[in-house]
Every structure is written in C-alpha cells, then in structure tokens.
Structure 1
Amino acid sequence: MLKRSIVGCLLCLSLFGTQTGHAAGLNYTAIGDSLAAGQTPNREIGAGYADMIAMSIQPEAYSKELAMPGYTVDQVIKQVESDAGQRAIQSADLITISAGANDLLPLIQNDPSRGMLTFNAITAAFALNGVREDYAVLLQKVEELNPDANVYAMGYYFPYPHVFDQHKPAVAEQLNMLNDIIKQEAESAGAVFVPVADRFGTDAVDYLPNPGDVHPEPAGYLEMANAFLAVYAPGSPEIPKSLLNQLPEPVSFAELRKVAAKQEVEPERSEEEVAAVEGCTKEEIYTEGRLES
C-alpha cells in the first residue's frame, strides 16, 4: 500500500482549505506531459500544478490520467484520440494542456557538470515548426470532441537555471519561441494561454533544484497553479504557500510500475486504465532531456 498515495490523497480535495470557491458540477481534466502529471526532480510523480489547481477550485470531478511523462504533442494527440481520451475530453468542462517541450528539449544537450548548454539551431527550428502544426491539430481534436470546454494552454519556464549565464540567452530564446507558438495557436483556436516564464525567470534554482533534471519542486508547481488562477479567476487570492505543507508524498516510478503490474492481472480493468496510474505510464521511457528524466 502506497503511503499517502497519490490515488487516495489527491481525490480528497475537500481536505485542503485553499479553495477559491467550490466549482459545483465542474469536471476538470489535465492533459499533456510530465508537468501535467506532476513529475518531481527526483523521478517521482507527486502533486503538480494540475493537482494544486484542483485543490483550489475543488471541481466535482478531476483527472490527470491523460498526462504522460515524456509525451510530445503528437503523442498527446494520440492520447486524446484513444477511447479513454475521448471519454475524458467529452466529459470535461475545464481542460489544461502542457505539451510542446518534449519536441524541443531532447535537442538541447545539458551538461550539468560543466554548466553548459548546446543545440543545433536548424534542428530546433524544424522541431518548433512541428510543434506549431501539431498543436493546431491537438486543439482542433479537443474542439471537435468538446466545443463547450474551457481550454487553457500552459506555457513553459526556462528549465536550466544552473548553467553559466552566457549559455542561457540562446536557449531561453528557443523557449520563448515555443511559448509564442503555443500562445498563437491557443488564441487562434479560442483557447487561453497561461504564461509562466516570468514567474521563474532564468535563475530559478529554488524551483528547479536538480541541475540534471528539468522538473520543478512543489513550490515551482505552485507558481504555475497561481499563474493559471490569475487568468482563470482574475483578482482571486493566490493559493498560499501553506499548501505545500499539506501535499501527499510523491510516489516513485518504481512504485508506480509495481501498481501498474498488479493491475494488469485484474481482468475487469480496461487497457487504458491499466496504462495510466495517476499520470505515469507502465512503460516509462527515460530519455535524457525529455520532461520525464
């Protein structure tokens, strides 16, 4: 039994006294990559920005089963097109999306021991063009499945605060272009873009403590959740930092794989249900540079 499991604790939203007001009848679904899943800097799945949003707005239903570490925009599209994905999107009133970073970050070589970043500008430009095309398709798929849902596209932060300052500007510009693409495609599709980069800057070592990992600690996810609330409910109070003391313990990939393996032998569970354990697939891929490593 997982101690203070993500499955158990994150569904007990009424335990947390941080809500901006109970959203009666609201169904919130978070889709995308490991940021939507809540991956920590230590290869675990914990309470991410989507969970903190849910703790704040207290929807009637909440799921992040379509949030998969390492997924590119194209893979998120395939998730949405699956039977489980279609059901989740069709039943949602509020949808947040994190997608695009895994199309770009694998092309950036981070050498944490030397504080250096390198990348090929031509290859990166090609990848960003692919993000533009795929993100438009993703938003179109969501619109076709549920034209009434309120869709919010999350931006990205600069994930390499530990490198030397002279290596930051060129890569930061690539992230800025990624955010611009997401913003443009979101606005074209009638969705809302949520900027988060300014809340991190390029020196956010407190939010991103592991030089070899691009995922934030809970305080960083709290910044992302509050960035969402700033555009979702302008003027509402921010989620207080005291929430960080109430979060469930994160669960390691190894523990999640054990749960997934155990569920595989339960015949009443569907393939889609077995494949996702609170935002982490049973077939984890540990590719350096992706938002899962």
Structure 2
Amino acid sequence: MKRSIVGCLLCLSLFGTQAVYASGLHYTAIGDSLAAGQTPNREIGTGYADMIAMAIQPEVYSKELAVPGYTVDQVIKQVESDAGKRVIRSADLITISAGANDLLPLIQNDPSRGILTFNAITTAFALNGIREDYAVLLDKVEELNPDANVYVMGYYFPYPHVFDQHKPAVLEQLNMLNSIIKQEAGSAGAVFVPVADRFGTDAVDYLPNPGDVHPGPAGYLEMANAFLDVYATGSPEIPKSVLDQLPEPVTLAELREAAATKQEVQLEPAEEEVVVIEGCTKEEITEGRLKS
C-alpha cells in the first residue's frame, strides 16, 4: 500500500537579503526529489525551490507536486491529477525538475571502489524516452496554464567522488540529458536553467555523500542562484550566509507524524511510500515557521 502523506516544510524568511520581486505571485515547484529538497541523508531539507521562495517571496508557494523518486512519466500523472490541475492552474511561476530518475538508475555507482558502469544502449533508449515524455509534460502544463512562466531546471554531474577516468562517459550522458531538456523546454516556450557549470565534475562540497546523488544546502544554493541569474538577471544572489541559518532537515518519520496529527493521511493502492510536501503562504515564508 502507498501512504500519501501531506505536510508543509521549511517556509523560510529571507534572512535579511533583498527580495527580487514577486507581488501577488503564486509559485509552485514540481518534479522529483530535487524539487522536494531531499538531502544526501534521505531527509527533506531546504532545497533550491525553498531558496527561490526565500528570494522572490511569493504570495503563495507550493511544492505539493514534488515527489522524490518520480520519473517524467510519473510527474505527468501528478500534473494530470485533480490536485495537480488545481496547483498548475493557480500558478504564475512554475519550476520543473524531472528526468534524472529515468536515467540515473541505469548507472551503477560503486562508492567503495570509486567506479561507474552503465550500458550505452539502455541509456540511449532511456534518453529517447525522456525526450518524448518531456514534450508531453510541457504540453500538459501549457494546456492547463498557458499564462504561467515555466522554468525547467537542468542537472549537475552527481558523481564527484569517483575516479576521474570514470567521469567522462557518464558526463556525456548527463550532457545529453541536459541538451534534451533544454531543447524540449525551448520548443515549448519554457526557459531552461543550466546548473552543470556551477557544479563541475569535482563538487564534493556540494555533494558530500559518495553514495547519494542529492546535494547538500550549498549545492541547492547554487541551483537557486542559477535560477535567479536567469529569472532576474543582474539581481543579487542569495548570499552563502543563509547556509548558517537554515532549519534542520525533517525526517520522513517526522513528516508522517505531522501528517497524522492533521488527519490528512490517505491510503491508496501502490508499492511505495510517497511523501508529498506542500508549500506555504507569503506570511509563513516571511515568518519562517513550519505550517501546522
């Protein structure tokens, strides 16, 4: 059985930094674990979407449609759901992270030996599927809300800890993934946000766990600033000083407990447990408190 758990997490103040501008804006982040803010330790923390919300201070912020582990096809199904339609239709600004879960499971990372292996034919098929699914996803979003500003996040190289000789072949696959996402975004009238150059291939400070592909707060900060560089070119970046003031990540167990107290636990037939994380109102972002 799949347990759908609804909670609200990490609604942050700007910590004294200057907001870009977003009067009356409704911002929603959709996609995979990066949109949700998953940490290298399988918790939900302050992700790039939260930091974007810190900077632009929207009237309403949601990451209800950000689910760890989701492929592009699963994100499409989220968008097509009743909740997804409601959220997309009400959004002025949408960011999307999707595609990595279609590709990265095909790459075997052995952190103890520092090596990567993959089958080139299998990954080629996966990349072609991503291309097709991305076109559908962006078409669905456009159909639901043709007036929304849609930004599609690129991906970084997630294996900085492996030996250098194992990086180029996998880097080529990630570059192809980014090229596909960029091309499909452009065809749909969305904006691609590149992040790979900010990480490079040796970003061990941004990706501290050799056995996990998720960034820590410093990595998410780079992603948020990459977005701001495209969204509001010339605006100040979110300073690194915010990293010293972020709240602690929330474990999945804590999210379950919070959901139970709100009596919003729903059982649905499925195989995995999924955590759905809501966003916050402008007041909650400003106050920097957890919605309860």
Give the TM-score of the pair, scaled to structure 2: 0.87
Partner of 2:251: 252
Q: Distance in 1 between matches of 2:199 and 2:123?
A: 22
Change over 3 Å in CA distance of 1:188–1:8 after alignment to 2? closer
Secondary structure, counterpart of 1:54 in structure 2: helix
Change over 3 Å in CA distance of 1:266–1:132 after alignment to 2? closer
Q: Residue 21 of structure 1 aligns to which amino acid in structure 2?
A: V
Q: % of aligned pairs identical?
A: 82
Q: Distance in 1 between matches of 2:276 and 2:25?
A: 22
Q: Is 1:99–2:84 an aligned residue pair?
A: no
Q: Distance in 1 between matches of 2:213 and 2:194?
A: 18
Partner of 1:156: 155
Tell me the alpha carbon deviations over residues 180-224 of structure 1, each in whole angstroms, 9 at most, x when there is no partner. Answer: 000000000000000000000000000000000000000000000
TM-aligned CA deviation for residue 226 of structure 1: 0.3
Q: Distance in 1 between matches of 2:10 and 2:201?
A: 33
TM-aligned CA deviation for residue 276 of structure 1: 4.7
1:1-150 equivalences in 2 (<5 Å): 7=8, 9-10=10-11, 12-13=12-13, 16-150=15-149
Q: Distance in 2 between matches of 1:150 and 1:200?
A: 25
Q: Distance in 2 between matches of 1:47 and 1:8?
A: 8
TM-aligned CA deviation for residue 145 of structure 1: 0.2
1:214-253 equivalences in 2 (<5 Å): 214-253=213-252
Secondary structure, counterpart of 2:70 in structure 1: coil
| Contact in 2 for aligned 1:43/1:252 (Cα 8 Å) | yes
Q: Distance in 2 between matches of 1:126 and 1:72?
A: 15
| Contact in 2 for aligned 1:18/1:239 (Cα 8 Å) | yes
TM-aligned CA deviation for residue 19 of structure 1: 3.5
| Contact in 1 for aligned 2:78/2:84 (Cα 8 Å) | yes
| Contact in 1 for aligned 2:35/2:96 (Cα 8 Å) | yes
TM-aligned CA deviation for residue 115 of structure 1: 0.2
Give the TM-score of the pair, scaled to structure 1: 0.87
Partner of 1:3: none
| Contact in 1 for aligned 2:34/2:47 (Cα 8 Å) | yes
Q: Distance in 2 between matches of 1:217 and 1:9?
A: 15
Greater relative contact order, per chain length (Cα 8 Å cut-off, separation 6+): 2
Q: Residue 224 of structure 1 aligns to which amino acid in structure 2?
A: M
Secondary structure, counterpart of 1:59 in structure 2: coil
TM-aligned CA deviation for residue 9 of structure 1: 4.3
TM-aligned CA deviation for residue 275 of structure 1: 6.6
TM-aligned CA deviation for residue 16 of structure 1: 2.8
Unaligned 5+ segments in structure 2 are: 1-6, 280-292
Q: Distance in 2 between matches of 1:153 and 1:214?
A: 19
More displaced 10-residue stretch of structure 1: 17-26 or 106-115: 17-26
TM-aligned CA deviation for residue 278 of structure 1: 1.8
Partner of 2:167: 168
Tell me the alpha carbon deviations over residues 99-152 of structure 1, each in whole angstroms, 9 at most, x when there is no partner. Answer: 000000000000000000000000000000000000000000000000000000
Q: Distance in 2 between matches of 1:248 and 1:117?
A: 34
Change over 3 Å in CA distance of 1:92–1:208 after alignment to 2? same
TM-aligned CA deviation for residue 270 of structure 1: 11
Q: Residue 217 of structure 1 aligns to which amino acid in structure 2?
A: G
TM-aligned CA deviation for residue 279 of structure 1: 6.3
TM-aligned CA deviation for residue 245 of structure 1: 1.6
Secondary structure, counterpart of 1:251 in structure 2: coil
Q: Residue 256 of structure 1 aligns to which amino acid in structure 2?
A: L
TM-aligned CA deviation for residue 249 of structure 1: 1.0
Q: Is 1:196–2:224 an aligned residue pair?
A: no
Q: Residue 95 of structure 1 aligns to which amino acid in structure 2?
A: I
Partner of 1:208: 207
Secondary structure, counterpart of 1:95 in structure 2: strand
CA RMSD of aligned residues (A): 2.1
Partner of 1:283: none
| Contact in 1 for aligned 2:198/2:222 (Cα 8 Å) | yes
Q: Distance in 2 between matches of 1:73 and 1:96?
A: 14
Q: Residue 109 of structure 1 aligns to which amino acid in structure 2?
A: Q
| Contact in 1 for aligned 2:32/2:70 (Cα 8 Å) | yes
Q: Residue 8 of structure 2 aligns to which amino acid in structure 1?
A: V
Partner of 2:3: none
TM-aligned CA deviation for residue 253 of structure 1: 1.8
| Contact in 2 for aligned 1:32/1:67 (Cα 8 Å) | yes
